[in-house]
Amino acid sequence: MDEIRETVASYRTKATYQDYLKLPEGALYQLIGGELVLSPSPESKHQRIRRKLGVAVANFADEHYLDEVYFAPMDVYFNDEETYQPDIFFVPWNREKIVEKGRINGAPDLVVEVLSPSTARDDLTTKFKTYERYGVREYWVIDPDDEGVGIYLGDKGRLTLHQQVQGQGLLKSKVLSGFTVEAEYLFRRR
């Protein structure tokens, strides 16, 4: 039975960015590996972490005149089969040419993904490889359930683990030089 599914799947046409554009505005889809992937809205813990970190990053960027911090849903286009909506991402002023009216056209300097049961696999595999290949300079992966944070830095086409904390510890950004946040703050309820 599995062989039949694999055979049928191999004949399926991959979706493209043009197919993605036909979706209704606000649809919770990403284009991952040529597949339109529906993500349910994130759980409350995910939302809380995203809000706390997003506000901290946005305030830091504003205070230091570093330019724009964006939040999902906002499209980041890499190629015709890869268009994502990262939880939080940053594009500095000297790269503002990649910011278009309806999308970011290329790799942001900083990307943050807060893992959800429905997205974790893609965030850690396909999306990780795409972020690596297209030159994301810093990638934060936050696991709300394990209260873990991994910060990966891009160098020569590779994302390598730079910092890892579990539950508590000071998180430091290289892309946003001087930005720090306590992991405990992100995970605590109040």
Place of tokens 């339109």: 36
For the entire predicted model, the pTM comes to 0.90
Query: Average pLDDT for residues 51-56, to the nearest whole number?
Result: 98
pLDDT(11) > 50 = no
For 96-111, what is each residue's pLDDT tens digit? 999 999 899 999 999 9
pLDDT score of 7: 35
The DSSP annotation for 126-181 comes to HHHHHHHHHT-SEEEEEETTTTEEEEEEEETTEEEEEEEEESBSEEE-TTTTT-EE
pLDDT(9) > 80 = no
Residues 6+ apart with CB under 8 A from 159: 128, 131, 132, 136, 139, 152, 153
Query: Average pLDDT for residues 33-49, to the nearest whole number?
Result: 93
Instruction: pLDDT band for 27, please (50, 70, 90 cuts).
Output: confident
pLDDT(190) > 80 = no
pLDDT score of 186: 97
Peptide bond between residue 92 and the one before it cis (omega within 30 degrees of 0) = no
For 115-146, what is each residue's pLDDT tens digit? 998 889 999 999 999 999 999 999 999 999 99
Domains and CATH numbers, the chain: 41-187 (3.90.1570.10)
Asked whether 153 and 174 are in contact (CB, 8 A), the reply is yes
Q: What gap in Å lies between CA 18 and CA 79, rounded to an integer?
A: 11
Average pLDDT value over all residues in the chain: 92
